[in-house]
Structure 1
Amino acid sequence: MATGFNVPGMTAKDSKTVIKALQDRLNAYTDLHLTLKHVHWNVVGPTFIAVHEMIDPQVEAVRGFADETAERIATMGGTPVGTPGAMVKDRGWDEYSIGKDTAQAHLGALDLVYTGIIKSQREAIETVGELDPISEDLLVSQTSQLEQFHWFIRAHLESSSGQLSTAGSKTEAQAAAAAKKAK
């Protein structure tokens, strides 16, 4: 994980903890930007173009998060791993489960995807917080943007009374079905 040097002021043990948390984020960002591109390619229906065009800036931003995170790992003396096999082996979440479907279905599923990634972002922030304020700042900044993207998704799923069509859904398939039914 570490290559034998640390950033000044950090112990090897703390560096390894932070690098491990950042590698998990790198895996999450790689998976997320590929999932978002999958949605971009497979969304259909009357609101296709709006969702299609909303997703691309998210893809680009998340790709940038992956690059920033990999570079932070390298700066800390680690070796960022960006191969598909390593990501699949190490990830703690399931493959995105929705294929070609309506915009509402994909947005419903993405609501759960973003919920999961933001929750794990906050856990990573907690892990690195006192060990490395530089990595914490990076994660906080990225999380802020992820939360905004999540809001964009949820705006399509929210009723005028503030209820989410995906409320109570436990799986992407359930969320997709709930979002389609509510529309």
Structure 2
Amino acid sequence: MNTINIGLSKTEIQEVVKLLNQNLADFYLLQIKTKKYHWDVVGPQFLTLHEIWQGQYEIISDNIDNCAERIRALGEYPIGTAQLFLENTTLKEHPSDLPDSTEMVQRLVIDHEHIIRNLRKHIDLCSQKFHDEGTADFLTGIMEQHEEMAWMLRSFIGGKNIEQRIREDRELITES
């Protein structure tokens, strides 16, 4: 491939691609987990969660493709094997268990929030350290999508969390 001349050094591009490949691995594992829960959810929330997760894994699938294409636009090649995804992901698998629907939702919220935190760091690095505002902007859009997906899932189980937070707030006020 011809040398790319877009105002970034080879080192800057390589560092950005490392971040993008980590994101790609995280997105891939999250898609697998979301799809698995989409298939396996049971109970009164089946239809609602089944539909929510279908919409979410479609968004995640688009992000996987877009992330790989961003890497290609930078003149590099994305990782693309299960082994490399597992080696590069920062998410945790939960093999050999089948949680109830509430635990499924909670696990996915944790994963989305983990990805959001990573994306914030990667956005800062891309913009401030590697001077790649294009990738920073690209990642910002993906981060916003994960913020919305996490919000939707938190809202699904929010009643329990809200009641607990109200109790904790009251305890803090009483102690003050």
- Report TM bin, short chain: 0.7 to 0.9
Q: Residue 93 of structure 1 aligns to which amino acid in structure 2?
A: L
* Residue 159 (structure 2) pairs with residue 159 (structure 1): yes
Q: Residue 92 of structure 2 aligns to which amino acid in structure 1?
A: D
Structure 1: unaligned runs, 5 residues or longer: 166-183
Larger Rg: 2
Whole-angstrom distance in 2 between the partners of 1:8 and 1:55 = 38
Give the match for residue 88 of structure 2: 90
Moved >6 Å (runs of 4+): none
- Deviation per residue, 1:66-90 (Å, 9 max, x gap): 1111111011111111110111122
Whole-angstrom distance in 2 between the partners of 1:161 and 1:31 = 26
SS at match of 2:162: coil
Give the match for residue 46 of structure 1: 44
Give the match for residue 173 of structure 2: none
Deviates more, 1:104-113 or 1:37-46: 104-113
Whole-angstrom distance in 2 between the partners of 1:133 and 1:114 = 23
Give the match for residue 135 of structure 1: 135
Please tell me the root mean square deviation across aligned C-alpha atoms, in Å: 2.0
- Structure 1 position 96, deviation (Å): 3.1
Alignment length, in residue pairs?
Answer: 163
Q: Is the 8 A contact 1:107 1:157 kept in 2?
A: yes
SS at match of 1:129: helix
The share of aligned pairs that are identical, in percent, is 25
- Structure 1 position 164, deviation (Å): 6.4
Whole-angstrom distance in 2 between the partners of 1:101 and 1:112 = 14
- Deviation per residue, 1:25-56 (Å, 9 max, x gap): 11111111111001101111111110011001
Choose the corresponding residue for 1:6, options 4, 7, 10. Answer: 4
Whole-angstrom distance in 1 between the partners of 2:152 and 2:96 = 19
SS at match of 2:158: coil
C-alpha change, 1:89 and 1:109, in structure 2 (3 Å) is same
- Structure 1 position 97, deviation (Å): 4.9
Q: Is the 8 A contact 2:126 2:132 kept in 1?
A: yes
C-alpha change, 1:114 and 1:163, in structure 2 (3 Å) is farther
- Structure 1 position 98, deviation (Å): 7.3
Counterparts in 2 of 1:111-126, with a 5 A limit?
111-126=109-124
Whole-angstrom distance in 2 between the partners of 1:96 and 1:7 = 43
Q: Is the 8 A contact 1:6 1:15 kept in 2?
A: no
Q: Is the 8 A contact 2:22 2:90 kept in 1?
A: no
Whole-angstrom distance in 1 between the partners of 2:97 and 2:23 = 25
Deviates more, 1:44-53 or 1:154-163: 154-163
